[in-house]
Each structure stands twice: as structure tokens, then as C-alpha cells.
A and B are shown apart, each in its own frame.
Chain A
Amino acid sequence: MEAFETVYKQHAPRIYALATRMAGSPDQGEDLLQEIFLQAHRKLASFKGDAALGTWLYRLAVNHCLDFVRSRQARMGKVTDTLDVETAAQPVARRETPIARIDLERALERLPEGCREAFVLHDIEGYDHREVAEMLGIAEGTSKSQVFKARMKLRGLLS
């Protein structure tokens, strides 16, 4: 148990951040974090060591978060890819100060389902649109429009 606690302490912050941002809620992020580490503990015997433990854990966490997202979408209805966002034509003053981390975290929680997950995977986790599309089961063009939608919403929330 001590060894597993060490693994937890080392990797939990990255996984908790991923889960909280994907879920859009620290409470749900907490639940997901717990589920992910329980699953990791159960599957630890199947870890072959052909990847770093951190990479294995991260993949497991991403998959668990995607399962969560899919099941939530199934409950709430499929996300559409319409762009009901502020358009570029609307004049918005250029911000003068850098975006504070805490402000961005709070704004993320207020993003609509669908565009938040695409934004987290693309802009925060660094996947390209082809990978995001595959992970979320959407078209590549939809991934692009969802990320744009998220950025535009954030722009409004952070202005």
C-alpha cells in the first residue's frame, strides 16, 4: 500500500487536473480521480512495464474520463457542433493583462459540454484534432469548431 501511495502522490496532480477539467467540476474530478486509482490498483498486475508507469496511468485516466464524458453525453443527448458563439465581427477590446490561471480554471467549469472536452484535449493536453476527433467520436471538423467555440466562450468569460 505504501508503494501505491507513492505512485498516487507522484501522479495524482496531473490526473486530478485532467479529470476536473474534463468533467468541468472539482467534485466530479475528485470522484474520477478516486475511480481511476482504484482501477489502476486492480489493473496494476497487468502493467507490463513496456511503458513508463506514468504513461500507463495517464492513458488509463484519459480513457476513464472519456468513458465518463460518453456516458454523460448519452444521458444528456449528443452534443451538436453548431457555433452559437460570438462572431469575429463583434468588436471586443484586446485584453491588456495576461490570463490568470485561476480565472481560466473557473471559466473552464462554465464551458458547455462538448466544447470543453475538445478544448481540454486539444489546447491543454496537446492532442491534435485528428486524435481529439477519434477520442470523442466526432468528425475532425467538429473538433476544430468545438475548440473554436470553447475559445470564444472563454474570451467572453475572461473579458
Chain B
Amino acid sequence: MHPNELVINDYVDNALPAAERAEVERHLGECDACRALVADLRAIARAATALEPIEPPARVWPRIADAIRRQEPVAAERDRSYWKWLAAAAVLVLATIVGMRFNPLSKQRAVEQPRQSASTTSGGTTAAAPAGDTAQTVETELRQAEEHYDKAITGLEQIANDNQSAFDPGTAATLHKNLAVIDQAISESRAAVHAQPNSEPAQQSLLENFRTKIAVLEDTVALINEMRKGNEAGAARIVSGLKEKSD
């Protein structure tokens, strides 16, 4: 009588206890069919063990690489935002330098002492001007400073707007409240400068409002960065600061 099939299988795998193994071997000595079966099963198991890795078709990697690139728009967008932030920061530095060099008080002195230092420059950007042209010069430079601040603000606003979805509703409301208050102040300062182009307080107020708006936007960008890094404590600190500014 032939051994059970699973017993033959266990025999092939060397998984039988000694007694059963001896019994199977006795049978194999007198049964050609079972001997052939064991030999074939062993050959199959040996061939299976010896199977080697298979080189995949060359077309597979380009597909994977392409799919990875398509999966990474978020990371790419993050990189683009980072570069936009750097560009905006560069504009901001430029605007700040212009803001520091633009000093209405020194222009006022120039009005009072037009000939005292004809060759002196104020911060290297403004040569002393004849008294009759001073008001016009001050207005021109104020306009230039405004343009620089506008560029900085636009860049930062773009970053903040691109990342609106990163904010929870409470933070977004705080941000909007801040910006609305400052925009109103800027609008009023612009009207005051327009009504009194030579009023130093009006000019200073306008520049101060620009600076405040830039500071709020910088806080916003810093908040985005802290949220991306998962730094809850840092984000909470910035939100708290924003709230203080809006109170």
C-alpha cells in the first residue's frame, strides 16, 4: 500500500519522525512509482530553491520616477513658497534700507539750511537739493519708499494667501482682523499725506503703518513655518503675539 500523499510530501521535506521515515524508505525500495514521485518532488523543490531574481523590464523605473514626481507637488509647492519667501525677504530688506535712509527730518533741515552742506548726502541716496525743489523731492522719495514697502507687502501677502488653508479658522480670523485694522490706518495715512504732502507726522505715520503691516505678515510667514515644522509651542507664541497686536 502506498503511503499517504502528505506523508510522501513530509518525507521530501525531511519532516517525518525517524520511525515513519524508515517505513517510507522501506516502501520506496519496492515501489517504482513512489520512488519516481519522491525524486520528482525533490527535483521541483531543488529547482524552486535555486530560482533567481528576475530583472524587471526597463520601462518600470521611468514609470515609478514619473509617479514619484507627480506625487510630490506638495513638496514642490513648499519649495516654491520658500523661494517666494526669500524673494519677499530680499524686497523687504531693500524697503527697510530705503525706509531708514528716507528721513523727513533731515529734509526739513535741508529746507532750513540749503547751502550749509551742499555736497553732503543723507544716507548716500539723497543729495541736498535747492530749497525750492525740496518739497517736490520729499514727495518723490516718499512715493519711492511707498512703492518699496508695497512690493514687500505684496510679496508677503502672496505667501500668506497661498497658505490660507494651513490656518485654523481662529488664527485666520486674527490675521484678517490685524490686516484690516492696518489697511484702514494705511488708507487714512495716505489721505493725510495727500492732503499735506510736507507734513512730517503724516509721512512718519504712513511709513510706520507700512512697517506694522510688514511685521504682521512676517509673523504670518513665521507661523506657517512653525506649523510646517509641527512646532506647536512656537506657533502658539506667534498667534498670541498676533492677538496682542489686534487687541
Q: Which of B29-37, B82-90, B208-216, B219-227 contacts A (4 or more CB under 8 A)?
A: B29-37
| Residues of chain B within 8 A of A87, CB atoms compared | 2, 5
- The residue from A5, A17, A88, A158 contacting B37, defined by CB atoms under 8 A apart: A88
| Residues of chain B within 8 A of A90, CB atoms compared | 33
Q: Is B19 an interface residue (CB 8 A)?
A: no
Q: Is B195 an interface residue (CB 8 A)?
A: no
The answer on a CB contact under 8 Å between A8 and B40 is no
The answer on a CB contact under 8 Å between A34 and B67 is yes
- The residue from A9, A91, A144 contacting B10, defined by CB atoms under 8 A apart: A144
The answer on a CB contact under 8 Å between A151 and B41 is yes
Nearest B residue to A36 via CB reads B64
The answer on a CB contact under 8 Å between B44 and A8 is no
| Residues of chain B within 8 A of A16, CB atoms compared | 53-56, 60
Chosen A-B contacts, 5 in total, with CB atoms closer than 8 Å, are A12-B60, A16-B60, A30-B57, A124-B51, A151-B9
Q: Is B120 an interface residue (CB 8 A)?
A: no
Contacts A98-B43, A98-B47, A151-B45 given: A88-B5 contact, CB under 8 Å? yes
Interface residues in A, total, Cβ within 8 A? 50
Q: Which 9 A-B pairs rank lowest in CB-CB distance, beginning with the nearest? A: A13-B53, A94-B36, A123-B48, A99-B47, A16-B56, A148-B9, A17-B54, A91-B33, A14-B53
The answer on a CB contact under 8 Å between A34 and B51 is no
Query: Min CB distance, B199 to chain A, in Å?
Result: 58
| Residues of chain B within 8 A of A99, CB atoms compared | 43-44, 46-47
**A13 to B53 Cα, complex, angstroms:** 5
| Residues of chain B within 8 A of A98, CB atoms compared | 43, 47
Apart from A34-B63, A38-B64, A124-B51, list 10 A-B contacts with CB within 8 A: A12-B60, A13-B54, A16-B54, A34-B67, A41-B71, A83-B5, A92-B36, A99-B47, A144-B6, A151-B9
Q: Is A59 an interface residue (CB 8 A)?
A: no
The answer on a CB contact under 8 Å between A89 and B2 is yes
The answer on a CB contact under 8 Å between B48 and A37 is no
| Residues of chain B within 8 A of A119, CB atoms compared | 48
Nearest B residue to A42 via CB reads B71
**A104 to B5 Cα, complex, angstroms:** 22
Q: Is A93 an interface residue (CB 8 A)?
A: yes
Q: Which residues of B contact A (CB under 8 A)?
A: 2-3, 5-6, 8-10, 12, 32-37, 39-41, 43-57, 60-61, 63-65, 67-69, 71
Main secondary structure of the interface of A (DSSP, over half): helix
Contacts A5-B61, A101-B47 given: A89-B9 contact, CB under 8 Å? no
Contacts A38-B71, A144-B9, A151-B45 given: A88-B33 contact, CB under 8 Å? yes
The answer on a CB contact under 8 Å between A34 and B60 is yes
The answer on a CB contact under 8 Å between B51 and A93 is no
Query: Min CB distance, B71 to chain A, in Å?
Result: 7
The answer on a CB contact under 8 Å between B6 and A17 is no
| Residues of chain B within 8 A of A12, CB atoms compared | 55-56, 60-61
- The residue from A13, A148, A154, A159 contacting B5, defined by CB atoms under 8 A apart: A148
Q: Is A47 an interface residue (CB 8 A)?
A: no
| Residues of chain B within 8 A of A8, CB atoms compared | 61, 64
Query: Min CB distance, B11 to chain A, in Å?
Result: 11
Q: Is A74 an interface residue (CB 8 A)?
A: no
| Residues of chain B within 8 A of A101, CB atoms compared | 47, 50-52
**A151 to B49 Cα, complex, angstroms:** 13
| Residues of chain B within 8 A of A38, CB atoms compared | 64, 67-68, 71
- The residue from B2, B6, B44 contacting A154, defined by CB atoms under 8 A apart: B44
